[in-house]
A and B are shown apart, each in its own frame.
Chain A
């Protein structure tokens, strides 16, 4: 069985933010590109549980790939967000000092920032800090403002990238796990759970699975381990309570536990950073919450546990080198690794994509621009339109005036659009539209979204899932159920 008879120029393994950004980058050129993903949907791995910070680059050691690609990626964001209509905001990063020792460390960070080419970094005293963020702990003695720091909705970005890549000719295959890779007569024969595909080049953007995929060509040059981060999301009624992303001084393991305003007006607290043995260990814990809440309350004393509306955890795919692992495999230079993409991977992704395109070119792939490349991803978000625009839209499609998710104001039209855009599950609709992400957490809208999924995808009740096989939401109908034993 063949996924496609066409021989691909490039096969990208993994449809997270890195695979998505690369797919979109390569769609500028006259190439046959396929993006494969083992989960049932795009962005369902590490990317969906990301903190959503567009880092400035002040945290990364000069000379590393992380520093170089983070700073470059940060600069690519405004245009990218504009083209893809992605929820992004340059809200500025604040690194705060709690005592004199930390205050001294701030100047090291400033130097690091300068070496990484950052501009506009400002050192703030206690009063300036208070003026900028009145709800910070008054005992904080000062901080650093990095204006280029930003926030983005991570899954929104991945959907934007992949949808735009598809518009420009990239083929996407979800629910497709790569199982075996052979190199025969100058091309890869890739066996997947859904058939075979041939490609001249492979980019391994498999996240947590990157070392496993590398192993399929006998390359054991790096290892990946999972570092778990728990995050807690607070009610949107706190919009504006904190405006900048608040960082403590970093630790060797991570950038610390943060207070993150989201683009949509929530506040997110987290993440923790603990190494875990399993690549499926996605639970949250009472200990994680205690650690996060105690720490962030020290930064913003007014935070309240009762404002938490949901929590989740994600696994960072950390590499054994401490830096990003990007480059051709020693086993086969047509096989490019993009592994160990932990923080600042989301920020760096657009720059990683450009860098990998150069590496592919170095390896002999011809990059010829496509005239028909369309950089725009059109998207209707009813809540962002004026009343007049909404009414113009409704004339064409009344479903845009039927609000299904009352907390986040998502219309039936947008939910149906999300399914056309590729959602096949309740979570897929949620991540694309925000329906179910608000304070009632899907209490009201999820039955309606289930109905729409059944209708659009011709599913039986038991075929409607939360996020793929094994996550059925329903066991058929109450009546005419199969006879019981």
Chain B
């Protein structure tokens, strides 16, 4: 039972991450491989504040979101000016730099040893420490993020995002401030990803840079693409699928030494097959199709 709860909590975390990336990638067409950096910043913010200052839950969460949004501005400002491939490479660069900082700024982040013993959050006077508690917290936040995203997407702002995705120049010629919209959604996506990171830090109570690498960004991208870019429920499906299927590999009797690699192979294959046969994912409305 505990195991099932654990899986559900992880799914919840990745639903948040997936939805946030979907806003940026699926709805606006910005292929970003930097998302794990924002996720990681949220985690590190929550961890550091919790460890050093024992700040309350709301403060840590807000700090995580704000830190990620600041990083979002730093990454977005130079990168969003670039088109397509160059944008991807730029986000890749920032992801690597962020990881490098996490790994090498030992005095601040603990470096490769990570930050152990992160205090668990206290929400409305109750300390969240059991699996059930985290399940409730994770899915409550996931629901909030989902509703927020859905409101955003159904708003006029959301329509502009889709216009940007379909034809950026046309959107601009119709008077939409494309640059600002892209920056806004990029920063919002970063902030939402941080929420997932905070939950991760509180749940596992230990973080280190290896959880926030390019592979993690690719995993989040796979969730969005598998579920369907441009469809929020798709991100939920994607998260469910990509978190639970590798776990099922465990029961097939695969030795743990090769499980990690097999999992990665699964993601890679999923990406390739999706691109070949179903670029719109399971239930997506957007196909990443060429111009």
A is bound by B: no
Which residues of B does A touch, CB under 8 Å? none
